[in-house]
Amino acid sequence: MELLARRVAQFGGQLRQSVRSFDRQFENLVPLLHALPHRACSVIHGDLVPPNVLVDAAGRPLAVVDFGFLSSVGDPAFDAAVCASTFDMYGANADEARETLTREFASRLDYTIEELCVYQAAYAIATSNAYDLGGQDGHFLWCVRQLQRPDLARVLGA
């Protein structure tokens, strides 16, 4: 929570200019994060995208690499949520991939779609200016698009 509060204090103005309901979303996000189910913490990768998953010729996963960007200890549901939203974040079928992975992770890992959406919103806020403090890069625009998604707006009551 402290990280999100610091990010909003520093970069919230840029998000407010791009996301009409940002203040309401963030205000509603805080209690939703507090209400998430408590799970035992585990190592989370934070960047599970195709280049970071090594597979064999049959497409079976062999290893996960690149534990540098957002690796930490936390709720494994956060990792599932971030993976679903970033796995094909800039691809032509990014929305379909996100929706499919979110649905599959919720079903197979016993999470709710709503809690994964809460984590996806938190990730978008926390990382919106990770690559450009001025918010002039593609990642910032991707974060804005995430916060404008109808499913996130519904979950965040915005």
What CATH number corresponds to the domain at position 102? 3.90.1200.10
Count other Cβ atoms within 10 Å, centred on residue 60: 7
Domain that holds residue 101: 2-155
Please give the chain's pLDDT, 158 residues, in tens: 788 999 999 999 999 999 999 999 999 999 999 999 999 888 888 777 788 888 899 988 888 888 766 668 889 999 999 999 999 999 999 999 999 999 999 999 999 999 999 999 999 999 999 888 888 999 999 999 999 999 999 999 87
The span from the CA of 66 to the CA of 49, in Å, is: 10
Instruction: Report the sign of the C-alpha dihedral through residues 46, 156, 32, 28, in that order.
Output: positive
68 contact partners, CB below 8 Å, separation of at least 6? 47
CB 3 within 8 Å of CB 126: yes
Number of structural domains in the chain: 1
Scanning the chain, the segments in alpha helix (DSSP H) are 2-18, 22-34, 76-86, 94-109, 113-127, 138-147, 150-155
